[in-house]
Structure 1
Amino acid sequence: MFVCVFALDLTVYFTAQSWWLPILYLGLGAIPKGWISSWNHHHQHLTMFRHPLPNRLLEIIFGFQTGVTSHAWFLHHVVGHHLNYLDQTQDESRWKRPDGSTMGEMEYALKTTLSAYPRAFQVGKKYPQARRIFVSMGLLQLALLGVLFWHNWYNALFVFLLPMCLSLYLTAWATYFHHVGLETKDHNEASYNILHRGYNLMTGNLGYHTAHHSKQGLHWSKLPELHAKLARNIPANLYRQPGIPFVWSGSEAKLELGNEEIEAIAQQEPAGT
């Protein structure tokens, strides 16, 4: 599926001759490539292949689609944010300013976007092997992007570079709603969850965020099952609406589930678990 999307990117890049087509493609692809960012996220938690070569090739494709290159998310997110998200002085995706106040959405998204690669490199000091892959694959990604610009700078700008930057920014913006305002040492109280079926279909169950943080190496398909197991321990007010395009009015609004709703979720846990 991701290769097919990349093939479409290349088709537009090599064939578009009108000035407006690459710009239109940039706009139409913004949200779908944001969803692909979720799958890149899952991949860097638990790789899709058992062997390095297909993983590296997939990560090149993901890099062009999401702006997050090989091992960038592993360093910044997997061994960074997931270890430190309960401590806002250390969290690589921190939502607090140094003075302890809460950042706004745009401020957080911009700061997280601009600091993503420096922070990933910094975390890599503790993981030198991962950092070597991160740096070498990043240089390869830049070289490939340079070739694309050499061949057709205009199409490369709108089909690849700007979508990479936009996807990274939109991903950072979306993560603002995962933890903002939740200052706690209890994992069950530290994340907002989204139960919307369409959202979880397109993002690989990323809405079950408490479950994801409770067991980050768990395959995405098993997150609903774990959420059901944790449902009674998750505060009823730690739920949100999904964002656009699933909800246009009240996007990301907070929700509070009733006791019956929580019990219905908990009863979805398979017997014997």
Structure 2
Amino acid sequence: MTLFRHPEDRIPVLLFACVFALDLTVYFMASSWWLPILWFGIGIIPKGWISAWNHHHQHLNMFRHAPLNRLLEIIFGFQTGVTSHTWFLHHVVGHHVNYLDQDKDESHWKRADGSTMGEVEYSLTTALTAYPRAYKVGLKYPKALRVFLAMCGVQVALLGVLFWHNWFNALFVFLLPMCASLYVTSWATYFHHVGLETKEHAEASYNILHRGYNLMTGNLGYHTAHHTKQALHWSKLPQLHAQMAKDIPATLYRQPGIPFVWSGSEEKLSLTDEQVEALAMARTAR
């Protein structure tokens, strides 16, 4: 009997556990004031990547057994600021259902007057309202809401114990990284759909083909494919994108963000006919 639904998740979960072990090591062992602060700075980008994997997990749980999934979600909660079932409610049965309708989208990029939000406004709004919006969606899904509320309670209690033991280290090793990761995640999602008002799934998302970005985020760059089949495992998204390549407008591509691209981060790209054909041909090469 295997613990994982998909064997591809074994190495990522091991890496998440190693990062959490390092978090605990710094928390319990650091006696100098600067080390937790340094660790906080070093971890901002990697924990932003882990946020993408937390997103994948809440679409399709990595373990076959609920207790192991809840344990992993506690780790994810400390690393990303997004606790168990928060993204399931806010994102899976919220945003994915409503993202073509800016009046309903839980991650909407339009203001009430119809104008487009800026990056900072969107990121702050989405981060600060993530939990209230998840709760609101959860009223329609009482079973998931109960897990969401219970696990939020567990997460807060554990964080409280960490603050009681060493408030300074808890602040810089756990609480501030949680807040930063939630903001960085919200900022990254701004570029997934902003400005795309359509009723067609193939025309509603930007995609990132950069190999390093997709390695670190579990192929999150294949965003059109992800929205077309949101329950599809992350390892299969490139193949689905190849199947859809000719239906996706060549203008719906972007550069990745920092640290993959420092100049022109998140800049829009337009693929040539040859590049689109090469993507489609990748389907037959698999």
TM range (shorter): over 0.9
Q: In the alignment, is residue 249 of structure 1 matched against residue 263 of structure 2?
A: yes
Mapping 1:79-118, distance limit 5 Å: 79-118=93-132
Equivalent residue, structure 1, for 2:162: 148
- TM-score, normalised on structure 2? 0.94
Residue 270 (structure 1) shift: 3.2
Equivalent residue, structure 2, for 1:64: 78
Q: In the alignment, is residue 129 of structure 1 matched against residue 160 of structure 2?
A: no
For 1:262, give the aligned amino acid.
Answer: V
Q: In the alignment, is residue 42 of structure 1 matched against residue 52 of structure 2?
A: no
For 1:158, give the aligned amino acid.
Answer: F
In 1, Cα distance between the equivalents of 2:112 and 2:64?
41
Question: Which stretches in structure 1 are left out of the alignment for 5+ residues?
Answer: none
SS at match of 2:139: helix
For 2:16, give the aligned amino acid.
Answer: F
In 1, Cα distance between the equivalents of 2:53 and 2:100?
24
Given the alignment, which residue of 172, 177, 181 partners 2:186?
A: 172
Q: Is the 8 A contact 1:225 1:270 kept in 2?
A: no
In 1, Cα distance between the equivalents of 2:56 and 2:250?
26
Q: Is the 8 A contact 1:36 1:203 kept in 2?
A: yes
SS at match of 1:252: coil
In 2, Cα distance between the equivalents of 1:269 and 1:185?
26
Given the alignment, which residue of 87, 91, 96 partners 1:73?
A: 87
Equivalent residue, structure 1, for 2:275: 261
SS at match of 2:283: coil
Q: Report runs of 4+ in structure 1 exceeding 4 Å deviation.
A: none
**Per-residue displacement from partner, 1:119-153 (whole Å, max 9, x unpaired)?**
00000011000000000000000000000000000
For 1:195, give the aligned amino acid.
Answer: L
Q: In the alignment, is residue 235 of structure 1 matched against residue 221 of structure 2?
A: no
Q: In the alignment, is residue 213 of structure 1 matched against residue 227 of structure 2?
A: yes
For 2:99, give the aligned amino acid.
Answer: Y
SS at match of 2:284: coil
For 2:76, give the aligned amino acid.
Answer: F
- TM-score, normalised on structure 1? 0.99
Given the alignment, which residue of 184, 187, 191 partners 2:198?
A: 184
Q: Is the 8 A contact 1:194 1:239 kept in 2?
A: yes
Equivalent residue, structure 1, for 2:9: none
For 2:159, give the aligned amino acid.
Answer: L
Q: In the alignment, is residue 193 of structure 1 matched against residue 207 of structure 2?
A: yes
In 1, Cα distance between the equivalents of 2:249 and 2:147?
40
Q: Is the 8 A contact 1:70 1:133 kept in 2?
A: yes
In 2, Cα distance between the equivalents of 1:51 and 1:24?
36
C-alpha RMSD of matched pairs (Å): 0.8
In 1, Cα distance between the equivalents of 2:188 and 2:72?
23
Q: In the alignment, is residue 7 of structure 1 matched against residue 21 of structure 2?
A: yes
Residue 96 (structure 1) shift: 0.1
SS at match of 1:144: helix
In 2, Cα distance between the equivalents of 1:51 and 1:121?
24
In 2, Cα distance between the equivalents of 1:210 and 1:194?
10
In 2, Cα distance between the equivalents of 1:18 and 1:170?
27
